[in-house]
Amino acid sequence: MKRLPHALAIACIAVFYLANATLLHAADRPNIILLLADDLGYGDLSCFGSPAVKTPHLDRLASEGLKCDRFYAGSAVCSPTRASVLTGRYPLRFGITKHFNDRNGWLPESATTVAELLSDAGYNTAHVGKWHLGGLHVDETGKRLTNQPGPRQHGFDFYQTQIEQQPLRGKMGRDRTLFRKGGTVLLRNDQRINEDDPYYPKHFTDANGDFAVEMIEKLSNEDAPFFINMWWLVPHKPYEPAPEPHWSGTAADGISDDQHRFRSMVQHMDAKVGEILQKLDELKIADNTLVLFTSDNGAAFEGFIHDLKGGKTDLHDGGIRVPMIVRWPAAIPPGQTSQAFGHTNDLLPSFCDAAGVDVPGALSLDGLSLLPHWMGGTPPSDEERGTVFWQLDLYKSLQRHTPKPKPFATEVVRRGNWKLLAFKGKPVELFDVDTDPNEKHNVLVEHPDLVASLSTELNQWLNEPRTTK
């Protein structure tokens, strides 16, 4: 945690929050809202140093909670990270090694998700926004096809998302209408909405934010707490101009049209986050609602990653290090910054910890609960954390305006400050990311014993059993 003066006073505050949270769990479990951006870079929020986009509502979330500077997505592309978020396990455990193609590919129904665990413990659950984990195809009547599991098969009582079906989705992407006509392809609770639905004419970002607010209002009237899984499409391509006032509000001299579109999209999302926070305030449930914001991978073309190397589709830190903010006023001290390592695998155990839900021992999670650290305690040690892994099929092109760094890598193994990149199990780069966060100095040849040890662990992990059904 960030060092502050008067250590004794801070320690007393931490003890207060820990004790308060313990009492709170016994009487009133928190609501949980996960806000997941899409292709948002490590530096794309103003509270993370963006020179371009103003994000006052997410900045407010950070000032009232904890900002995590060293948080990592489970992959450098979409679908694998989303599997990590929901299951607390490496995507490779389910044979998910790249983004799904909107035809074949889905998270196996046998996977245990955080929504299922919370639902079993009495939570109401809702998914809002992008899904990209399979099962969002419809027949000619607009009814969801059941040959692939969808949100309801993974624990969500309610959902509203977009149909993810080719050639429809691809055409809307090429035409740059996926956001502006997003309401025309909404799928809600296994049925495509019709033209008379009030959401039909909505911009997709508005549809997502508005439905999240609607779900908060609806579920807050229930006796049970709620879990809302809000997955934005922003700022993923296609870059489209956001509606006013966000388009005019992000105009600037000397920027490209795509950069202007990108900025307007991020500002639009931030405004909808503001509406979500405002609704929590209006309903007087903000104090006991855990809100967490992060991104599914690092920045694509127009995003900002400071001096980090790589970007989307690449396993250097520009592709996997992402912003993360968590606020729970009843339990997490405000205005803190953490330099501790965190991972999307940690979300399931952290949410379950906050909800007082015991994770079945047979589940063999790959993440750890960060809740004690968020509440003021020490983070998990390197020994507790153990070795961390990433795997991603080779994407030869970097989704940035620069070539992809070479040598190419398809795996990462990280132990403490050491990060080894490998190509199909063969080591290609080694970095000390504490002293070299931009991964400029490959020290592979200087540490043969460490490389051998990490390589052994990596190959053991690559050969572990996988569940694909």
List Cβ neighbours of 177 (8 Å cut-off, separation of 6 or more).
Answer: 238, 240
Q: How many other C-beta atoms lie within 10 A of the C-beta of residue 47?
A: 17
- Can you tell me the distance from the alpha carbon of 216 to that of 210, in angstroms, rounded to the nearest whole number? 10
Tokens of 62: 């950070």
CB 420 within 8 A of CB 414: yes
Assess whether 127 carries a catalytic annotation.
no
DSSP 374-439: HTTSPPPPHHHH--EEEE----SS-SSSSPPPSS--SEEEEETTEEEEEETTEEEEEEETTT-TT-
**Of 57, 68, 78, 373, which one is the catalytic site residue?**
78
Q: Which of 132, 236, 316, 373 is catalytic?
A: 132
Tally the residues of the chain: 469
Nearest to 244 by CA among 271, 273, 212, 211: 271
- Catalytic (active site) residue 260: no
388 - beta bridge partners? 414
For 290-346, the DSSP string reads EEEEEESSS--TT---TT-S--TT--SHHHHEEEEEEE-TTTS-SSEEE-S-EEGGG
Which residue numbers are catalytic?
78, 132
